A and B are shown apart, each in its own frame.
Chain A
Amino acid sequence: MYRYDEFDHDFVKARVAEFSDQVARRLAGEITEDQFRPLRLMNGVYLQLHAYMLRIAVPYGTLNSKQLRMLGHIARKYDKGYGHFTTRQNIQFNWPALSDIPAILADLASVEMHAIQTSGNCIRNVTADHFAGAAADEVADPRPYAEILRQWSSVHPEFSFLPRKFKIAVTGAERDRAAIQTHDIGLHLKKNAAGELGFAVYVGGGQGRTPMVAKKIRDFLPEADLLSYCTAILRVYNLYGRRDNKFKARIKILVHETGVEEITRQVEAEWQELKDAELRLPEEDIRAIDAYFAPPALVDRPEGDEAVKLARLDSKSFSEWLDQNVVTHRHPDYAAVTISLKGIGETPGDASDSQMEAVADIAEKYSFDELRVSHEQNLILPHVARADLKAVYDALVDIGLATANSNLISDIISCPGLDYCALATARSIPVAQEISRRFASLERQREIGELKLKISGCINACGHHHVGHIGILGVEKKGAELYQVTLGGSADENTSVGEIIGRGFSSEEITDAIEQIVETYLGLRLDRNERFIDAYRRVGPAPFKEALYAGEAKAA
């Protein structure tokens, strides 16, 4: 994986010193909160309901064991023994004292990590497919390009005060696991007919109060043009993006209001000015970054097939975990493992200090020291020999992280909601927990099949509810929590925004409503192979509306 060079080390160290000085001046009363707020936000420090919150960047979701161990250390020493992995593949701590943050940042810098640009109206952490570098179906590892974008966008003088925040995601496979069409810029790394690498470029996706699916503005952008083209997009946005209204300031609104053809014309025109100048990426520079992401030396381990076969016979729970949480690797003797942070009744995305340390140990021993954070709030061991899967499973059982529910209904994305967040209008975590408990039976979950359920505690949609097969949005109505349900969203290569199904449900009613939706699906699907999302696209909302509300209409 990427290692800091001298420049990176100096840059992060200088930033820690700068922000430490700003914190000291704030604590001494030399600068006001109004002066300090933009500075702390640029360094990932928010003020939430109970305390400050620190969001730490995990570039394209890639971590090594030492880094995860450090996150565990920070959770124990400076926080309350746990951290929360986010949909931007980052981690948040919920209780740090402002006065401790300089020490936390110094600890992070010692393992090549930081919290720069995890907030503010700048280019945020670039996300990538969590199976990048391991997936059997990718044309190339997308992370070198995410790293190039990271270097280009870090304290970029022109793009540090955009109209609004800006998010970029990259995938290297046809099957989109990085939700690129919900991003300001989505990049799909692919090969053209000549076998050259380049990108399909999508612009103007996003969630929040105005969800939009990104539009493809270029089918093939040569890799050398990555930075010049992104610069052209950002320039058009920076110039014409609305600064008069925060709710209309994202690029999705500009794309929507300007029209795809015109925005494409503007971007292409800007690009003509830039494409042959200094932003053109030299081949040797791309390959130099590539080298950092060279795959580990995967020695053949053909004994894996037999070992897995025997272990399956020996343990039903191992077998179920294997079916659900283990996916094919590009090397047939290896697999990529999803460590579910969605234990039944647990807080989605939370991990304790000791779990982080134990997972770091497992990664060091069995996954070439590599880990990923997924945008679905799980951890990934990208390169596990099939022969070692049983040992990994046993180690995960020991720390309570062997829940076999990847992509099932209890694998819920949930924002922190009103239990932590100052912007939230309703709680999300308790809703996730209750649904998880209701569907606790793995047998039942497997019968239901793939079902992406996502919950947000306010219209900002951090819990990605718009693109959940089932989405839940918590709002406050007449002083009480009310949960609105959307159906038919998805965040893959066929991205769609869910449709509101009808009136909302109280916190007492919401789990029953979800169960009714699931039972309706089970009753109408063609067979077990027709997933919830496919069935919904075939039949539309009517049967679900009927199931949820028909009784009311009759009663009325």
Chain B
Amino acid sequence: MKVLTANRLADGIAVWYANGGWAETIDHADIAHDKAAEDRLEAIGAKASAANEVVDVNLIDVTVANGTVEAVRLREKIRAAGPTTRNDLGKQARPQAARAA
């Protein structure tokens, strides 16, 4: 299972592709379950990159737990939450944003 992630061009904030747009949390990102879906996400990423919406586009491995998407690698878990040393910063600091997404 993979999702599409990038950083927003104007402010660099980490984002994930969900419901036809770029969400600020990973929770409800669109999941690719097979190669065809991965190709579709990659094409979306390439287009968004070419349109200068986002930079550093990548497909990353995820799992689903309790209906929300979770990154597999520690690096991506930290991107999705914020620094583990500062839980007042990053996505983890804004639980309301996570719920709204």
Contact = CB atoms under 8 A, between A and B. Distances in A.
Nearest to A48: B12
Contacts of B82: 50
B90 A50 contact: yes
A480 B72 CA distance: 11
A97 B10 contact: yes
A457 to B, nearest CB: 11
A210 to B, nearest CB: 24
Contacts of A33: 9, 49, 52, 55
A209 B75 CA distance: 21
Tell me whether chain B's interface is mostly helix, strand or loop, or mixed.
Answer: loop
Interface string B38-76: 000000000001011001100000000000000011110
Interface stretch (A279-287, A321-329, A426-434, A465-473): A426-434
Interface residues of A, number: 30
A99 B10 contact: yes
A49 interface: yes
A97 B85 contact: no
Interface in A286-312: none
A306 B94 CA distance: 54
A303 B14 CA distance: 57
Contact of A50 (B14, B49, B55, B73): B14
Nearest to A30: B52
Tell which of B11, B73, B83 has the most Cβ of chain A within 10 Å.
B83
B50 to A, nearest CB: 8
B89 interface: yes
Contacts of B10: 27, 97-99
B13 A430 contact: no
Contacts of A433: 85
A29 B89 contact: no
B2 interface: no
B28 interface: no
B58 to A, nearest CB: 11
A99 B12 CA distance: 10
A455 to B, nearest CB: 13
B85 A419 contact: yes
Nearest to A49: B79
Contacts of A228: none
B74 A26 contact: no
B55 A51 contact: no
Interface string A79-106: 0100000000000000111110000000
A19 interface: no
A481 interface: yes
Contacts of A505: none
Interface in A16-50: 26-27, 29, 32-33, 47-50
A420 interface: yes
A215 to B, nearest CB: 37
Nearest to B54: A33
A419 B75 CA distance: 8
A30 to B, nearest CB: 9
B56 A47 contact: yes
A47 B58 CA distance: 14
A100 to B, nearest CB: 8
Contacts of A32: 52
Contacts of A418: 74-75, 78
Given A29-B51, A80-B89, A99 B11 contact: yes
B25 interface: no
A51 B85 contact: no
Contacts of B74: 418, 476, 479-481
A414 B39 CA distance: 40
Interface string A411-429: 0000000111000100101
A497 to B, nearest CB: 28
Contacts of B78: 49, 418-419, 427
Contact of B13 (A50, A420, A479): A50
Given A50-B83, A95-B89, 9 more contacts: A50-B79, A52-B11, A80-B89, A97-B11, A99-B11, A347-B85, A419-B78, A479-B74, A481-B74
Nearest 8 Cβ contacts at the A-B interface: A97-B11, A52-B12, A419-B83, A29-B52, A51-B12, A429-B85, A49-B79, A33-B55
5 contacts: A27-B10, A50-B79, A98-B9, A427-B85, A429-B85
